[in-house]
């Protein structure tokens, strides 16, 4: 099986305290465990670039975007070029333009492990 994260440069593991609820969105345990091991990073995920913000920066990132986000949504990363990736209160991953309006939010997946494939699939469908 192809490793979906093979072209991704991860950060060092994170051992500090983790804020597991950001603006009312509970971080899925799968995401928390993934971030403890990898703590974000960036790289090619097929049809797009993915920057996953380090877990200790999520609160600050979301403080910056909070007024633009619909309630129950947080940002966890970007493509570095105008698209943001996030989590909703149902634990689903989404993509949205940096100019955030609920009508433009598109759910793309349900698992951090599959996020590279979900992002790549999303962009493949857009071609």
Which DSSP helix (H) or strand (E) runs through 4? none
Question: C-alpha distances in angstroms, 107 versus 28, 86, 93, 123?
Answer: 16, 9, 6, 13
Give me the residue spans of the domains in the chain: 9-126
The CATH code of the domain at 9-126 is 3.40.1580.10
Q: How many CB atoms lie within 10 A of CB 94?
A: 20
**Confidence category of residue 46, pLDDT binned at 50, 70, 90:** confident
Q: Which pair of structure tokens corresponds to residue 21? A: 């609820």
Which DSSP helix (H) or strand (E) runs through 74? strand 73-78
**pLDDT tens digits along 78-126:** 998 888 999 999 999 999 876 656 676 788 899 988 888 888 888 888 7
What is the model's pTM? 0.77
């Amino acid at each position: 099986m192809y490793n979906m994260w093979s072209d991704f440069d991860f950060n060092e593991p994170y051992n500090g305290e983790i804020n597991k609820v950001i603006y009312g969105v509970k971080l899925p345990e799968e995401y928390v465990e993934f971030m403890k091991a990898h703590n974000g990073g960036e790289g090619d995920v097929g049809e797009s670039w993915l920057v996953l913000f380090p877990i200790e920066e999520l609160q600050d990132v979301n403080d910056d975007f909070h007024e633009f986000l619909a309630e129950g949504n947080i940002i966890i990363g970007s493509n570095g070029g105008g698209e943001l990736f996030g989590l909703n209160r149902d634990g689903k991953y989404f993509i949205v333009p940096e100019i955030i309006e609920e009508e433009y939010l598109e759910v793309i997946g349900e698992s951090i492990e599959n996020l590279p494939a979900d992002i790549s699939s999303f962009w493949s469908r857009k071609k």
